[in-house]
Amino acid sequence: MEVVAVTDRTAPGALAARLTGRPATGERRLSGTLAEVTLDDGRTVMVKLGDGPGAARAEAAGLRWLADAGSVRLPTVYGHDERRLVIDRVSQGAPDARAAVRFGGALAALHAAGAPAYGAAPPGGPREAYIGRAPMRNVHGADWPVWYAEHRVLPYLRRAVDDGTIRPAEATVVEQVCERLPDLAGPAEPPARLHGDLWNGNVLWGADGHAWLIDPAAHGGHRETDLAMLALFGCPHLDHVLTGYQEAAPLADGWTDRVGLHQLFPLLVHAVLFGRGYAEQALNTARAALAR
């Protein structure tokens, strides 16, 4: 990819220079939504285009809120404009078991930092946010099963039905899970401070021996949701991550039986974004939850 001098005031380099206070000496486009900018002091920062209106603001607020917990590693946020975000680049290494155990303990501490309510947005973050490219509404709730059904599962189920990805008759099984959530959800827990989109692609294994988190859809929720998403799409050394987590903050009895409940949300989001394959996975997960 070509490295170019920064002359265009609308270029990523111009935004990076303004928000970091350092002249940009070059930029490299990595994709249509991501650019790498070199500063005159040798540092490299990333300029990311948000997924929609308010997305850059939501991501910046989420990164700062998660960093305030003082537990997991997150890139420094330099700021944002209406559409783009500027953060530090993470120097990447290879995952190993020790880093995974450390990450598990740090993730437990992040969750324990808490949130004002289920569905609470980060301070300064918008109510109308995103998870990936899908809109995500942050609405407060006091009861996790009710909140999770109304604001994390059913909106995406309805969208999938409206789009024809899930047939109306098939949707019944997910609706039945929502009705039974008070009995299936396990012991009540206080709202946790969630990353919110914790699939493996948003965990960067740093050259410093620590896991770093990027691209959050941060909000108050149930801590098992973050862990279920790690399991859904695979995470290197997940068993060691869970060991570190359990040593720091043991999970409630029966948590392994509830993994599917927490995966319904990301699966339905993926059904909305990517189609029928994820819809079938969501339906099978719902059927399995009802069979327990």
pLDDT at 52: 80
Mean pLDDT of 163-190: 97
pTM assigned to the model: 0.93
pLDDT score recorded for residue 235: 94
CA 109 to chain centre: 17
Residues linked to residue 73 through DSSP beta bridges, in sequence order: 212
pLDDT of residue 9: 55
Torsion sign across C-alpha atoms 23, 28, 34, 36: negative
Q: What pLDDT score was predicted for residue 50?
A: 83
pLDDT score of 189: 96
Is the confidence at residue 5, as pLDDT, over 60? no
Would you place residue 153 in the very low, low, confident or very high pLDDT band (cuts 50, 70, 90)? very high
% of the chain surpassing 90 pLDDT: 91
Instruction: Name the phi and psi angles at 239, rounded to 5.
Output: -60, -35
| Non-local CB neighbours of 125 within 8 Å, separated by 6+ positions | 57, 58, 61, 62, 65, 138, 218
Q: Quick one: pLDDT at residue 32? A: 87
Give the pair of three-digit tokens for residue 228.
């279920």
Q: In the chain, what percentage of residues exceed pLDDT 70?
A: 97
Tell me what the mean pLDDT of segment 158-179 comes to: 98
Beta bridge partners of 130: 135
Structure tokens at 36: 């790498």
Nearest Cα neighbor of 215 from 78, 44, 48, 81 is: 48
**DSSP type of residue 209:** S
Using the predicted structure, report yes or no on whether residue 10 has a pLDDT greater than 80: no
> Which of 51, 197, 215, 226 is the catalytic position?
197
Residue 56 CB neighbours (<10 A): 21
51 catalytic, yes or no? no
d(CA 240, CA 99): 9
* Whether the predicted pLDDT of 4 surpasses 60: no
DSSP 200: G
Q: How many other C-beta atoms can be found within 10 angstroms of the C-beta atom of residue 184? A: 18
The 10s digit of each residue's pLDDT in 44-69 is 999 999 878 889 999 999 999 999 99
- Average pLDDT over the chain, rounded to an integer: 94
How far apart are the C-alpha atoms of 277 and 227, rounded to whole Å?
Answer: 22
Say yes or no to pLDDT of 33 above 70: yes
- Going by pLDDT thresholds of 50, 70 and 90, the confidence category of residue 8 is low
Burial category of 216 from C-beta neighbours within 10 Å (exposed 0-12, middle 13-18, buried 19 and up): buried
**CB atoms inside a 10 Å sphere around CB 31:** 9
Q: pLDDT by residue (tens digit) across 106-125?
A: 999 999 999 999 999 999 99
pLDDT digit string (tens) for 222-253?
999 999 999 998 899 999 999 999 999 999 99
**Residue 19, pLDDT above cutoff 70:** yes
- DSSP conformation letters of 214-277: -S---EEE-HHHHHHHHHHH--TTHHHHHHHHHHHSPPPTTGGGGHHHHHHHHHHHHHHHH-HH
Per-residue pLDDT at 1: 36
The one-character DSSP state at 88 is E
The structural domains of the chain, ordered by start, are: 3-88 (3.30.200.20), 97-291 (3.90.1200.10)
